[in-house]
Chains A and B, each alone.
Chain A
Amino acid sequence: MHMADALVSPAVAGTLYACSAAAAGYSIYKVKQEDDPRKIPVMGVMGAFVFAAQMINFTIPGTGSSGHLCGGMMLSAILGPHAGFLTMIGVLLIQCLFFADGGLLALGCNVWNMAFYGCFLGAFLFWKPLVKNGADKKRITIASILGCVLTLQLGALSVSLETLASGITELPFATFAAAMQPIHLAIGLVEGLITAAVLCFVYEARPELLWGVSAGAKQTGKLSLKKTLVILGIAALFTGGVLSQFASNLPDGLEWSMGKVAGTDELEAEGAIYEKAAELQESTAVLPDYALKNSDSAAGTTVSGLIGAIIVVLFCVGASYAFRFFRKSSRKRSGTGA
């Protein structure tokens, strides 16, 4: 689900960077409040663990494919949402720099889509409420599956929205979302099951390592297998069915509401004041509709422009070779002189 730089516009990337930075700032404040010096090395090693564990293929029974661990949910369950979120940022930055998995500019989007939902929503909506009064395998499994499904569904929806807002594809939002949501529902379920298996193992071996599980608390009201299956079924139906319906029936909330109010999908403004405002906007915009100023083509691409681009690149390649040649010869001269 890592987004590449090409899929986002600077405005969308900047907005998501700001949102992720705000969440990171709050997380840093909370981690500092904990005042536990061993937290930093633990976060570092756990980040490396998640990275390494995501390289392992877990076979999905009955299919020829495999799944991976859900990093955000796993880190939250061990380190807590704040430290988990910061660790995920580190993991995503290293993935982006060393493995080209996601772009530098799209890092804010990727942090939001994968780390924020997994670490905060997964932890606070499902993990904490389910395990705070004592944990057992069923609760851990439910929390992990629901957390992973929600993370992946919201993440996939955000990818569609961010791509739509960036305006880089002609694909309608409804079609994009309808393609993204069901596949991520399946991935979420599998990732949830793998994460649950690992967390259940940790719970049996070293329960004190799990975040939010009160050691002394008694378990209140065990969940039967039937109830568990019913809850999981409803959650799967909701996320798959309801969200997909939302995506296909309501392709654009703004257009829908405008259509209801004005009877048209796009508002048209007339009059001198609107023309003046449009002129003012045109003259002050840094990137006026992302089009080149003074271009004789509506598309911003002309034959002379293309030829000019090729000439510029060829010139620059020649100049770079010349730069390298002169640097090498000057280095040789200085080496001989010494």
Chain B
Amino acid sequence: MSKIDHAMHQLQSLEMLANEDRWMNRLHPSVKLFITIFYIVFVVSFSKYQLAGLLAMAIYPAALFIIGELSFKDALHRLRIVLPVVCMVGIINPFLDRNVAITLFGIGISGGVLSMLSLMVKGVLAVLASYLLIATTSIEKICYALRQAHVPKILVSEVLLIYRYLTVLLSEARRVVTAYSLRAPGQKGIAVNAWGSLAGQMLLRSMDRAERVYQSMCLRGFRGEFYPAHQGKMRGTDWLWFLFWTLLLVALRYGNVTELIGKLFV
């Protein structure tokens, strides 16, 4: 599958997931956005040696995958971009930090290994949290939540418009690349003599499209403002969800819960 096909497939599958009528999808977008950011902040705030605390933070994605009835396999696919970068940065730690930090079942584990593992866990948890947000919340709802959080109108409109025209322009890019590859079989990319004209033609067509988009928006009453659909007020369930996760995450971050539970068994 080409890069463009893959991007289009990913956009389509996430949109379908977000538009399903499931319990998680019906939660208020502001709550989901807030908890996601709150969760990621807490995850990355753990020190590089606090692996135990970090592992306990896995309860959030674990619970949401189950409650939201989402496939973990689909989410794993997203890790292919993040994990190599994170591993590349962290892989050097075991060589530079060799002091034994803990002894686990008689085996000494160095601080470098702990910091490398915690970096990887942080990377995975943060990616899973943002996947859970976008897989249960459509971009329109996220934009509504951003407006509720007083993000400027112009930025929110921008995001919505880019998203709307993304599929259109990706289809166009696919047609252009297919047409080019049919005329230049066996060639891997776009040859240097066509660099300017190929993307340049696409750009000129995009500008003309933007003009037509503007005219049709004006005909439908556009006066410089773009309103994301209203998502209603927060219900009791939303507040409960918000309070439950906020308190649980705070307890896990500052309450040393894992240590206390572990001591009951060791």
Contact = CB atoms under 8 A, between A and B. Distances in A.
A308 B52 contact: yes
Contacts of B168: 48
A301 B50 contact: yes
Given A55-B4, A169-B92, A323-B67, 6 more contacts: A4-B86, A104-B126, A197-B192, A197-B195, A291-B47, A302-B262
B67 A324 contact: yes
Contact of A99 (B7, B50, B89, B209): B7
B69 to A, nearest CB: 7
Nearest to A171: B92
A307 interface: yes
Contact of A5 (B40, B67, B187, B191): B40
Contacts of A51: 162, 166, 169-170
Nearest to B184: A59
A216 interface: no
B154 A313 contact: no
Given A99-B81, A317-B66, A300 B47 contact: yes
A237 interface: no
Interface stretch (A127-135, A198-206, A225-233, A257-265): A198-206
A98 B126 contact: no
B171 to A, nearest CB: 9
Sorting the interface of chain A by its residue count into under 10, 10 to 19, 20 to 34 or 35 or more gives: 35 or more
Interface residues of B, number: 128
B114 to A, nearest CB: 6
Q: Sorted from nearest, which 5 A-B pairs have the closest CB atoms?
A: A44-B161, A308-B262, A201-B200, A305-B52, A304-B262
B126 A6 contact: yes
A69 B158 contact: no
Interface of A: 2, 4-10, 13, 24-25, 28, 31-32, 37-38, 40-49, 51-53, 55-61, 64, 66, 69, 78, 86-87, 89-91, 93-94, 96-101, 103-105, 163, 167-171, 193-194, 197-198, 200-202, 205-206, 209, 287, 289-295, 297-313, 316-317, 319-321, 323-324, 327
Nearest to B93: A170
Determine the main DSSP class of A at the interface with B: helix
A47 B53 contact: no
B41 interface: yes
A220 to B, nearest CB: 25
A299 B111 contact: yes
Contact of A316 (B62, B127, B169): B62
A87 B160 CA distance: 11
B234 interface: no
B202 interface: yes
Contact of A290 (B47, B90, B188, B195): B47
Given A28-B155, A287-B45, A302 B93 contact: no
